[in-house]
């Protein structure tokens, strides 16, 4: 009964959330258009906005990457659920980040000591924003969105493009969370956590790291595009979920040893990985928010080299540790390399990138092998996004180049350990990692505990056996693998093709019985 009530209640909650936008309708959008009418747009605004928008689209495409990766690592009986999941979460996050999240992540935070932003809900209530001195010198006036979102005010790209880009980051972080929960979590638990995550947890955590918050401004933590702010936050949410959810049935045998539960499609895993790789060029290179200084192309090269290093590191590690070339490990090696290079991509010279990636690749393989002894993480997200995210963040403390630290104006001017001989930057990085991990873990554990106590977190045993597709969705992701053929439109399968058949002639025999043998079954 409670479950049914929740099932009805959550949609109602969503509808309520949707009513919120109506509150904001008094004001028009039109900021950019107004500036255009006044002839106030400067030329770099156009090209910077174009780049940020294109980069945002690349990052949004990563949703397809996560979907294919997670579906590929699931068994067939749970493959369809991932489709509905990714679309629902993306949509919830869009509304939550638009109405609330972005303001918390990038709004002016002076009144709350840098803890979170307090302006810019619905991309609208920033007419009172006063620019900082530096921005005022650059011509930013009161009420300009650049005044309202100070960190991103350094780029003159339009606020809508920047919002889309930052939303895409939020959606990536959220997608990472589900990796550990495959094949057993309740659909409605997804929905509920997605609201909290994209409205509060991710915005506040990322604000501290790269939204102008205290870790960035006061501690001097460096995280160019989000090894911590996006990947570690997602992986920490994933860990919290896993701790309360437990492993899939039969993952651990009576001897407590882990058994492999292979995903159903490596081709989909491969497709997902390459899509993520492509998206990363928007992710890291777009984090420059402008093209004016041409750094975006340098960041793109560094990103490629990091990803390449990750593959080679994982390839070597899987060959050595597993005596075979594990396909999932190679794919996770690329992801780990890219995750690791994300924080340093705007801080290091290109020679460091393959090294950072290589180490990440080894860490990912070793991490998966170590973690799976205790925890059931079907996709390896804890390792590829979590451990590699930590390593990538720390690697700034080693490899950050003085000229780039100074250019970005965050952290030690003397650069990382390699250049400065000092552990100072490494210390800032480590502090940032610990703080963010703790913050996200505590809030996520609390959220999931609440969900567990109300909606429930895990499907029942029999449902797990049957698969989420049939239980949550009333259908199969691959119906022809599960439903006896006569039920899928009678006689739906063709006969095996004998020699001369196939140039348009009709099927020579009733198809029903052939269909069976065509599936490889004999009586």
356 or 443, CB closer to a second copy?
356
CB of 148 to a second copy, least distance (A): 16
Judged by CB under 8 A, the chain residues 98 through 137 that form the site for a second copy are 98, 122-123
Among residues 390, 258, 276, the alpha carbon closest in space to that of 331 is found at 276
- Does residue 458 sit in helix, strand or coil? strand
**Residue 258 binds a second copy (CB under 8 A):** no
CB-count burial class (<10 Å; 0-12, 13-18, 19+) for 84: middle
179-208: b (≥16 Cβ within 10 Å) or e: bbbbbbbbbbbbbbbbbbbbbbbbbbbbbb
Rounded to a whole number of angstroms, the minimum distance from the CB of residue 284 to a second copy is 12
Report the residue count for the chain.
523
Residues 6+ apart with CB under 8 A from 27: 124, 125
What is the rounded distance in angstroms from the CA atom of residue 149 to the CA atom of residue 125? 11
Selected from 330, 384, 405, 443, the binder of a second copy by CB under 8 A is 330
Report d(CA 82, CA 181) in Å as an integer: 11
Judged by CB under 8 A, the residue of 200, 261, 375, 445 near a second copy is 261
CB of 352 to a second copy, least distance (A): 8
Alpha-carbon distance of 93 to 198, in angstroms, equals 5
Distance in Å, CB of 165 to a second copy, minimum: 10
Binding to a second copy in span 334-363, by CB under 8 A? 334, 349-352, 354-355, 358
Residue 268 sits in the site that holds a second copy (CB under 8 A): yes
Please check whether residue 148 is in contact with residue 162, taking contact to mean a CB–CB distance below 8 angstroms. no
The answer to whether 338 and 276 have CB atoms below 8 angstroms apart is: yes
Number of residues that bind a second copy (CB under 8 A): 187
Q: Which of 5, 87, 138, 370 binds a second copy (CB under 8 A)?
A: 87
- C-alpha distances in Å from residue 260, one per residue of 76, 205, 224: 15, 34, 36
> Scanning residues 160 to 189, which ones bind a second copy (CB under 8 A)?
160-161, 163-164, 167, 187
Binding a second copy by CB under 8 A: which of 111, 113, 322, 438?
322
The least CB distance from residue 287 to a second copy, in Å, is 14
Q: How far apart are CA 478 and CA 508, in angstroms?
A: 28
Q: Which helix (H) or strand (E) holds 446?
A: helix 424-453
Residue 135's nearest CA partner among 122, 121, 149 is 149
Return the residue of 115, 136, 200, 278 that touches a second copy, per CB under 8 A.
278
List CB contacts of 138: < 8 A, sequence separation 6 or more. Answer: none
**Which region, judged by CB under 8 A, interacts with a second copy, from 110-118, 193-201, 215-223, 512-520?**
512-520
Task: Please list the residues that pair with 185 across neighbouring strands.
Answer: 458
What is the spatial distance between Cα 522 and Cα 491, in angstroms, rounded to a whole number?
18
The smaller minimum CB distance to a second copy, of residues 228 and 288, is found at 288
Q: How far is the CB of 339 from a second copy (least distance, A)?
A: 15
Binding mask 195-214 for a second copy (x = CB under 8 A): --------------------
Smallest distance from the beta carbon of 498 to a second copy, in angstroms?
A: 9
- Smallest gap from Cβ 438 to a second copy, in A, equals 31
Q: Which of 117, 203, 212, 263 binds a second copy (CB under 8 A)?
A: 263
Decide if residue 5 touches a second copy (CB under 8 A): no
What's the closest the beta carbon of residue 54 comes to a second copy, in angstroms? 6
Give yes or no for residue 248 binding a second copy (CB under 8 A).
yes
Q: Are 232 and 433 in contact (CB under 8 A)?
A: yes
243 contacts 304 by C-beta, under 8 angstroms? no
In the window 471-500, what residues touch a second copy (CB under 8 A)? 471-485, 487-497
First to last CA, the chain: 45
Give yes or no for a contact between 369 and 321, defined as CB atoms under 8 angstroms apart.
yes
* CA nearest to 259, candidates 250, 268, 267: 250
- Secondary structure in 3-state letters for 25-49: CCCCCCHHHHHHHCCCCCHHHHHHH
7-46: contacts with a second copy (CB under 8 A) = 7-8, 11, 14-15, 18, 21-22, 24-25, 28-30, 32-33, 35-36, 41, 43-46
Residues of this chain, 394-413, that bind a second copy according to CB under 8 A: 401, 403, 407
* Token representation of residue 430: 């480590």
Chain positions 288 to 307 lying near a second copy, rule: CB under 8 A, are: 291-298, 300-301, 304-305, 307
Min. distance of Cβ 115 from a second copy in angstroms?
27
The smaller minimum CB distance to a second copy, of residues 3 and 373, is found at: 3
Residues 45-64 that bind a second copy (CB under 8 A): 45-47, 49-54, 56-58, 60-61, 63-64
Position 139 contacts a second copy (CB under 8 A): no
Chain residues 446-475 in contact with a second copy, contact rule CB under 8 A: 460-463, 465-467, 469-475
Residue 133 or 498: the one with the smaller Cβ distance to a second copy is 498
* 66-85 residues near a second copy, rule: CB under 8 A: 67-68, 71, 75-77, 79-84
CA 502 to chain CA mean position, Å: 46
CB of 121 or CB of 210, closer to a second copy? 121
User: DSSP of 249-266, one letter per residue?
Assistant: TTSB-TT--B-----S-H
E strand residue ranges, 407-521: none
Measured from the CB of residue 379, what is the shortest distance to a second copy in angstroms?
A: 14
Which of 330/440 has CB closer to a second copy?
330
Nearest to 397 by CA among 358, 433, 438, 360: 433
| 275 near a second copy, judged by CB under 8 A | yes
Q: How far apart are CB 465 and a second copy at their closest, in Å? A: 5
């Amino acid at each position: 009964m409670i479950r049914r009530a929740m099932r009805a209640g959550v949609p109602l909650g969503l509808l309520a959330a949707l009513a919120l936008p109506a509150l904001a309708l008094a004001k028009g959008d039109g900021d950019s258009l107004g500036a255009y009418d006044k002839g106030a747009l400067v030329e770099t605004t156009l090209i910077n906005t174009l780049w940020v928008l294109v980069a945002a689209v690349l990052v949004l495409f990563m949703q397809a990457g996560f979907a294919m990766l997670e579906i590929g690592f699931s068994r067939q009986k749970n493959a369809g659920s991932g489709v509905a999941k990714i679309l629902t979460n993306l949509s919830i996050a869009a509304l939550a980040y638009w109405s609330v999240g972005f303001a918390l992540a990038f709004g002016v935070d002076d009144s709350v000591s840098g803890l979170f932003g307090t302006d810019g809900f619905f991309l609208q209530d920033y007419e009172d924003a006063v620019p900082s001195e530096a921005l005022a010198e650059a011509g930013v006036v009161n009420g300009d969105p650049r005044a309202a979102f100070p960190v991103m005010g350094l780029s003159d790209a339009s606020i809508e493009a920047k919002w889309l880009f930052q939303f895409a980051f939020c959606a990536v972080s959220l997608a990472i969370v589900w990796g550990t929960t495959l094949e057993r979590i309740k659909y409605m638990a997804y929905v509920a956590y997605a609201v909290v995550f994209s409205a509060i947890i991710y915005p506040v955590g990322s604000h501290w790291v790269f939204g102008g918050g205290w870790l960035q401004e006061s501690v001097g933590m460096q995280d160019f595009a989000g090894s911590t702010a996006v990947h570690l936050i997602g992986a920490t949410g994933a860990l919290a979920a896993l701790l309360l959810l437990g492993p899939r049935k039969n993952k651990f045998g009576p001897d407590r040893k882990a058994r492999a539960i292979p995903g159903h499609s490596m081709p989909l895993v491969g497709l997902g990985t390459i899509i993520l790789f492509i998206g990363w060029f928007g992710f890291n290179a777009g984090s420059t928010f402008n093209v004016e200084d041409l750094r975006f192309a340098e960041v793109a090269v560094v990103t490629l080299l990091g990803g390449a290093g990750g593959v080679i590191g994982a390839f070597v590690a899987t060959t050595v540790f597993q005596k075979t070339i594990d396909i999932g490990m190679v794919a996770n090696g690329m992801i780990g390399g890219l995750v690791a290079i994300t924080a340093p991509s705007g801080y290091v010279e290109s020679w460091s990138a393959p090294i950072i990636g290589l180490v990440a690749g080894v860490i990912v393989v070793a991490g998966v092998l170590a973690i799976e002894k205790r925890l059931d993480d079907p996709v390896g997200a804890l390792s590829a996004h979590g451990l590699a995210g930590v390593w990538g963040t720390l690697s700034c403390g080693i490899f950050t180049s003085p000229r780039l630290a100074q250019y970005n104006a965050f952290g030690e001017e003397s650069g990382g350990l390699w250049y400065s001989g000092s552990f100072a930057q490494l210390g800032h990085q480590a502090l940032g990692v610990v703080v963010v991990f703790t913050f996200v873990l505590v809030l996520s554990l609390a959220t999931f505990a609440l969900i567990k106590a109300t909606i429930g977190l895990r499907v029942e045993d029999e449902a797990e056996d049957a698969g989420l597709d049939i239980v949550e969705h009333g259908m199969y992701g691959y119906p022809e693998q599960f439903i006896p053929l006569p039920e899928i439109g009678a006689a739906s399968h063709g006969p095996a093709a004998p020699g001369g058949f196939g140039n348009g002639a009709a099927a020579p025999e009733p198809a029903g019985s052939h269909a069976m043998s065509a599936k490889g079954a004999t009586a």
